[in-house]
Structure 1
Amino acid sequence: MTRVKRGFWLGLAIVLLRPVMVLMTRREWRGQEKVPAGGGVVVTNHISKVDPLVLGHFIVDLPRNPRFLAKDTLFKKGLVGAVMRGAHQIPVRRHTTDAALALAAAVDAVKDGSLVLMHPEGTCTKDPDLWPMVGKTGAARLALLTGAPMVPVVQWGAQRIHHPITNKFRPRWRTPVSVVVGDPIDLSAYADRPVTAELLEEITEKVMFRLRDMVAELRGEPAPTGPLFRLRRRREATS
């Protein structure tokens, strides 16, 4: 197996967490050969709070070093925060102007040859049947700024450990989890167009429909028809 420099903190996380994941999950990894050898933007569905552990395990097994965009509050929590900072994960301060700093850090990471993993939905899906929701445009902007391949990755099974709707944790040994990598999303048609909000939304919709189709294939059932589920703001839902 190719040796990859992990660094102390990422190495510590692997030593602590990988044995737990090996015992807790029964894994099906598919499409590893489609992950780029250099920098790339990995877009994936978000179905559980344990997604980073499943996806991190998958990336570490390639072997590569994952770079996640994560809520900045995680970087302030004791050992977890020390690992996140030491392993060079990327903090995001949501709903602030500082969110642009996370994008700049992600651009630098991709250009340095890292795999940056993003959940375009920004949170665990709230779709009642756990299909991908409407996404945010950060991943589309990152791919356009770097010119790096955008690789769709879908997963299923983590919701059996933590369910995003009920918020219940039910860890069991050997829980089946699957991770599948698809062909890179072709963005060549957008290369010469001005980067506008409309363009980013168009690309993001394309990405989320691709993820939905891949999830349907992984689940072995037809994808729903019609628009993606949209998470309404609380004031809209109560007006």
Structure 2
Amino acid sequence: MGKYRKLQQKRGWAWWVVVPIVKPVLLATTTHEWIGAEKIPATGGCILALNHVSHIDPLTAAHITWDYGRLSRYLAKSSLFKNRQFARFLRAAGQIPVDRGAGAGAFQEAVKAVNDGELIVVYVEGSITKDPDGWPMVGKSGAARIALETGAPVIPVGQWGAQNLLPAYSKKPNLKGRTKITMKVGDPVPLDDLRAKDHDVATVKEATDRIMAAIVGLVEDIRGEKAPAERFDPRAHGISGTGNPNKR
């Protein structure tokens, strides 16, 4: 665990509202171990690429980035923006709506944010993992495409523990004691050779595979186990890659 950094960025009104509420709740319900978090760039545009295990993940990701002096912006599903007042809050906090059927606008907004020096959090799987044992499943191309377009570093993060506080797709948190959340931050994913190529389907897939491999390696370190040789692919198992697979 490196030395925490002070926030240098200007935060909007939404951050002034949410931090005094959310951070004490997280401290009351969780303990945390941040490993290698000093590798999060102190300044400049970057993509923080994580695995996804719980709906509470955006809060714990915001916790680690806040501790290391950065505000985090997210690619959030567009349905969260349907309520006008909540949408106003999300926008004020810098969050970016993603329409899974037509994500071009979100991609351009994310690229602009990174080029403007901001930190973007991307859950590369696009949804909470459907792997029965919680391992990262196959990745989607968003983080890779943003990285190739901007030239910004991709910082991989493996995380584990949030699913014990709020299991996937559950609305009932486990409040018996404090849940340990572990995040391990890795070195930037090497993508320079791919940036020099045409950003075609094959190049984007290779970049995505490298990002996912880095994340999986970090999760293996945290769990002290080896991940399955082949990542879980929801389509191959006849289930949707997004949403609750148990909901009919």
Alignment TM-score, normalising by the size of structure 2? 0.88
Indicate the SS of the match to 1:91.
Answer: strand
Mapped partners of 1:126, 1:141: distance in 2: 23
The residue type equivalent to 1:116 in the other structure is I
Residues 1:157 and 2:158 aligned together: no
Mapped partners of 1:3, 1:91: distance in 2: 25
Indicate the SS of the match to 1:58.
Answer: helix
Choose from 216, 228, 234 the match for 1:212. Answer: 216
Provide Cα deviations, 1:95-126, integer angstroms capped at 9, x if missing partner: 12xx1110100011111111000011110000
Query: Unpaired segments of 5 or more residues in structure 2?
Result: 241-248
Which residues of 2 match residues 219-230 of structure 1 at below 5 A? 219-225=223-229, 227-230=230-233
Query: How far did 1:168 drift?
Result: 5.7
Which residues of 2 match residues 1-239 of structure 1 at below 5 A? 2-4=6-8, 5-36=10-41, 37-77=43-83, 80-96=86-102, 99-164=103-168, 167=170, 169-172=172-175, 173-225=177-229, 227-232=230-235, 234=239
Query: Unpaired segments of 5 or more residues in structure 1?
Result: none
Q: Contact 1:13–1:83 at 8 Å: present in 2 too?
A: no
Query: How far did 1:167 drift?
Result: 3.2
Indicate the SS of the match to 1:121.
Answer: coil
Q: CA RMSD in A?
A: 1.8
Query: How far did 1:3 drift?
Result: 4.1
Aligned length: 232
TM-aligned CA distance change 1:78 to 1:157, over 3 Å: farther
Q: Contact 1:34–1:181 at 8 Å: present in 2 too?
A: yes
Indicate the SS of the match to 2:180.
Answer: strand
Mapped partners of 1:3, 1:108: distance in 2: 21
The residue type equivalent to 1:72 in the other structure is S
Indicate the SS of the match to 1:12.
Answer: helix
Provide Cα deviations, 1:81-105, integer angstroms capped at 9, x if missing partner: 3321111111101112xx1110100
Provide Cα deviations, 1:164-194, integer angstroms capped at 9, x if missing partner: 2x63633324111011110000101212211
Mapped partners of 2:132, 2:77: distance in 1: 24
Indicate the SS of the match to 2:220.
Answer: helix
Mapped partners of 1:129, 1:234: distance in 2: 16
Mapped partners of 1:80, 1:58: distance in 2: 24
The residue type equivalent to 1:70 in the other structure is A
The residue type equivalent to 1:54 in the other structure is T
Give the fraction of aligned pairs with identical amino acids, expressed as a percent.
41
Alignment TM-score, normalising by the size of structure 1? 0.91
Mapped partners of 1:121, 1:134: distance in 2: 6
